Structure 1
Amino acid sequence: MFLPEEAVTLGGLPAGGVPLAGFGSFYAGGRQVRIEGRPIAQIQFTPTVDFDWDPNGLFHIEQAYVQWFMPADRRHDLPIVLLHGGGFTGTMWEATPDGRPGWLQDFLGAGYPVYVVDNVERGRAGWCPFTEFWPGPPILRSAEEAWSLFRVGAAADFAMRRPFAAQRFPTAAFDDLIRGSVPRFPRQTDDAAVAALGAVFDRIGRSVALVAHSQGGEIALRAALASPERIAALVLVESSGFPAAGTAAGWPVLQVVGDHLDATPLWIDLARRYRTFAADLTRQGVRNDAWFLAERGIIGNSHMPMMDDNSTDIAAEIAVWLAGVRS
């Protein structure tokens, strides 16, 4: 069993200004595979070093990579696990595109231990390039697609970089958002991602608050339903995944949804499904809240509330909600 309090204290090492008692990382899940029958290839490590590369042998694939952080001022026992959305890695939680502290620092500042996941085939989790194991090729989101899909502005206004009125995303730093995009597979690796996230829960060894964004909501819901004893609360930030009607465990659920939901037919449909999901949970007697931020008087949030100009305020409200469901 792995618990961060077993780590050596690091004496106030700062993360975005938050003193830490310790931090570390680990890999979880995946499987070993053996490659045979591929030809040996001559490659160059450097302009002066040739090497005969043998692609055959034993490899480990489909693992998750996790960084954990323990605040020096720990006020909550409940660990928060942050799961990225599609086309991103755990770095999306570390800082905003315009350089402000991200939700990682916000939740640490609220006194929570935090685990940041790079799930299967993302970031430092790594991935095997052999086509035997991946339904290639992967896709990469363009800046134009992100502009409209993330509800920064209308598709026709991308060239002028003209955002929606009252937009809270830092549009001057939009290119820094795109720098964080990575290739990914649309959904064919979901089963492996669910299994890897379950292995993360097992490695942590206690119930967690799982905070997931966008496509990560689908992975989070499936992993939570597969290991309900590992979940204390589920926070879905503009999730694009929903369980079948009538399928839920007993843990509380919070949905966080931004503004401009009439921007595209996709978002009109997703907004309807957020409400249907909340109503279904209520019928089942599951404690849940659906924060449609614009209806709460918080105008202008994009698909990326952890990066918007009020990101710290939203994180603070989530931290209070988590404290409440544990009381």
Structure 2
Amino acid sequence: MKMFALARLSRVLLIATFGFTLAEQAAQPRRDVFFVGGRYNKVTIMTGQIYVERLTPPNVTQANPLVFIAGAGQTGTNFLETPDGRPGWASFFLDKGYIVYLSDQASRGRSRWQPSVGSMIASGTEKVEEIFTALSKHNLWPQSKLHTQWPGTGLVGDPTFDAFYASQVQYMPDSNIYEDENTAAYSALLDKIGAAHVFTHSQAGSYGWRIGDARPSLVKSIIALEPAGPPFDGRAPFTGNKTWGITYEKVEYEPPIGNDSSLLDTVRVPAPDADHNDCILQRDPARKLKNLMDIPVLVVTSEASYHAPYDYCTVAFLKQAGVQVEFADLPKEGIHGNGHFLFMEKNNIEIAERILKWIESV
């Protein structure tokens, strides 16, 4: 009797304190946290590990989970909620029955950074306004004037901008180090959790290709949200030549080229119009990305982003290399006004619905 009374009291206190019953508590997603990957450096410190959150819905209905990898200066919080307080993509896909893995890149956010690995930089408010949140006010590329979906003004002092900028973290400018660290760490994550659909954003785009190359049997699909590009070239606002085509470090080609990326024979293809960049592609016959050929890929590009002038080059390169790629060029599908952070903008759920249909089709 005494035990029953204690149990009843606990239930009353739970409702009074948190506002939900035990049944309601059971209906909430479960959150687990762990670290994976990394290696000991001279035994005294560990580098290269990543922080991971596993969010499990009350009713798991999908066989393969989703892994989200955020871009430069970002963390896994990108996908939890929008800066103006609306549900993010994590909530959307949890509601659809998917287990969701959010993470911070190696040497980023909650994934420990060691100064010996590389130096750090951070983006100032002006840069963030110009290329992420207030594109139409700066007109730095032809499509930027079409930006309408960012909530608020996109300028310093606006509550949504301030919330977004507060979430920005430092990052290493050395793409080669980051690509190697994260390829190893996310490969270890897939070894731990099994096959998954991998979402990459921006800088993390090249990691997706490397992870698919390293673990082709564990990558069910790659959803590349404006992946680092274009092939080979560095284009403003982020420069740096990808000597292996769509990556900074080695991926496997067929016929093989060993460790010598200079064996990729390239040609510059003129832009189709004034709103797009020219492309560097392989000269025919093109070598194939042999470990990516059986992985379905969706490349998603916004109307107003700085990726709008050149993501078509990345798609062309992938097709040339034998990859099963679909191009979700959002304005051509009637989804207008988005910038680079499409998953935070006013129509973020509309875009998530588009991606969900594709995942269900593969």
Report TM bin, short chain: 0.7 to 0.9
In the alignment, residue 209 of structure 1 is paired with which amino acid? H
- Does 1:271 pair with 2:271? no
3-state SS of the aligned residue for 2:351?
helix
Encode CA deviations 1:35-70: one digit per residue, 9 max, x unaligned.
xxxxxxxxxxxxxxxxxxxxxx72112101100011
Unaligned stretches of 5+ residues in structure 2: 1-21, 154-159, 230-245, 252-281, 283-287
Counterpart in the other structure of 1:32: 40
Aligned match for 1:86, one of 72, 95, 105 = 72
Residues 59 and 11 of structure 1: is their aligned pair in 2 closer, same or farther, counting only changes over 3 Å? Answer: farther
Aligned match for 2:148, one of 163, 167, 180 = 167
Whole-Å Cα distance in 1 between the matches of residues 113 and 184 of structure 2?
15
State the 1:157 CA deviation.
Answer: 7.3
Whole-Å Cα distance in 2 between the matches of residues 144 and 82 of structure 1?
27
Alignment of 1:63-74 (within 5 A): 63-74=49-60
Aligned match for 1:183, one of 170, 195, 212 = 170
Encode CA deviations 1:135-181: one digit per residue, 9 max, x unaligned.
22x110112212222363156479xxxx8445101134122211111
- Does 1:135 pair with 2:144? no
3-state SS of the aligned residue for 2:84?
coil
- Which 4+ residue blocks in structure 1 deviate beyond 6 angstroms? none
Whole-Å Cα distance in 1 between the matches of residues 104 and 134 of structure 2?
25
Aligned match for 2:128, one of 136, 141, 146 = 146
Alignment of 1:131-280 (within 5 A): 133-136=116-119, 138-150=120-132, 152-154=134-136, 156=138, 164-165=145-146, 167-172=148-153, 173-186=160-173, 187=175, 188-204=177-193, 206-241=194-229, 242=246, 246-247=288-289, 248-261=292-305, 268=309, 270-280=310-320
Aligned match for 1:306, one of 343, 347, 354 = 343
In the alignment, residue 287 of structure 1 is paired with which amino acid? Q
Whole-Å Cα distance in 1 between the matches of residues 24 and 221 of structure 2?
29
Query: Normalised by the size of structure 2, how large is the TM-score?
Result: 0.70
Whole-Å Cα distance in 1 between the matches of residues 294 and 66 of structure 2?
18
Unaligned stretches of 5+ residues in structure 1: 1-9, 35-56
Q: How many residues align?
A: 274
Residues 256 and 157 of structure 1: is their aligned pair in 2 closer, same or farther, counting only changes over 3 Å? Answer: closer
Whole-Å Cα distance in 2 between the matches of residues 157 and 260 of structure 1?
10
Alignment of 1:3-152 (within 5 A): 13=25, 19-20=28-29, 22-34=30-42, 58-129=44-115, 133-136=116-119, 138-150=120-132, 152=134
In the alignment, residue 277 of structure 1 is paired with which amino acid? F
Whole-Å Cα distance in 2 between the matches of residues 151 and 267 of structure 1?
15
212-221 or 240-249: bigger deviation: 240-249
Residues 109 and 277 of structure 1: is their aligned pair in 2 closer, same or farther, counting only changes over 3 Å? Answer: farther
Whole-Å Cα distance in 2 between the matches of residues 238 and 151 of structure 1?
16
Residues 66 and 178 of structure 1: is their aligned pair in 2 closer, same or farther, counting only changes over 3 Å? Answer: same
Whole-Å Cα distance in 1 between the matches of residues 301 and 208 of structure 2?
17
State the 1:74 CA deviation.
Answer: 1.8
Query: Normalised by the size of structure 1, how large is the TM-score?
Result: 0.77
- Does 1:289 pair with 2:326? yes
Whole-Å Cα distance in 2 between the matches of residues 149 and 214 of structure 1?
12
Alpha-carbon contact 1:258-1:301 (below 8 Å) kept: yes
3-state SS of the aligned residue for 2:74?
coil
Name whichever structure is richer in strand by fraction: 1
Counterpart in the other structure of 1:322: 359
Whole-Å Cα distance in 1 between the matches of residues 138 and 301 of structure 2?
24
Residues 180 and 151 of structure 1: is their aligned pair in 2 closer, same or farther, counting only changes over 3 Å? Answer: closer
Which is greater in Rg?
2
Whole-Å Cα distance in 1 between the matches of residues 178 and 67 of structure 2?
20
Counterpart in the other structure of 1:44: none
Whole-Å Cα distance in 2 between the matches of residues 229 and 83 of structure 1?
19
Encode CA deviations 1:97-140: one digit per residue, 9 max, x unaligned.
111111111110111111011120111112123xxx2222x110
270-279 or 245-254: bigger deviation: 270-279
